[in-house]
Amino acid sequence: MKCPFCNSGDTKVVDSREFINGNSIKRRRECLVCKKRFTTYEKIEERALYVIKKDNSREKFDRNKIIRGLTIATSKRNISRDEIEEFVLKIERKLQNSLESEISTKYVGELVMEELKKLDEVAYVRFVSVYKEFKNIKDFIEIIEDIKGNK
């Protein structure tokens, strides 16, 4: 690892810690030439995931889109930002483990709904109502009846 201050290749690791729930490592390093310290992050390189949208266009998977949807669905619920991050990490792991490089938005939506139902039923209903584009109160009643029936 090159020192960002003097460009020397002589550095040593002073401290290593798990970062983001063990999915990466944060290292404190010290340059043996100029003695300055700096931080580096190590993360597993994951293969690129692409999402196939309803109109058959492709775009790179963006975890922030899931975070935005969950933030709205969980507003005024007792769910922290860390829980949302952990939730999205779980979804990402499932997608990476599927060994597919292209996934449909439908599959991503189904995964999110499945996990959200376990986390918070109100947030689940909110998310589903937007995702499935509910048109009337009947749609809400059906999803609530489904939740009640599964208990």
Same domain, 19 and 60: no
Q: How far is CA 105 from CA 39, 55, 77, 88, 131, in A?
A: 36, 10, 26, 15, 10
Task: Report how many domains make up the chain.
Answer: 2
Given pLDDT bands bounded at 50, 70 and 90, which one contains residue 20? Answer: low
What is d(CA 60, CA 134) in angstroms, rounded to the nearest whole number?
A: 27
Same domain, 95 and 110: yes
Average the pLDDT over 80-95 and give the result.
89
Q: What is the pTM of this model?
A: 0.65
99 pLDDT more than 90:
no
Residue 4 inside a domain? The answer is: no
The phi and psi torsions of 15 (rounded to 5 degrees) equal -155, 140
The rounded percent of the chain whose pLDDT value lies above 90 is 60
The phi and psi torsions of 30 (rounded to 5 degrees) equal -130, 135
Same domain, 16 and 37: yes
Residue 32 inside a domain? The answer is: yes
18 pLDDT more than 90:
no
What is d(CA 34, CA 79) in angstroms, rounded to the nearest whole number?
A: 45
Same domain, 92 and 39: no
53 pLDDT more than 70:
yes
Structure tokens at 65: 């889109």
Given pLDDT bands bounded at 50, 70 and 90, which one contains residue 151? Answer: low
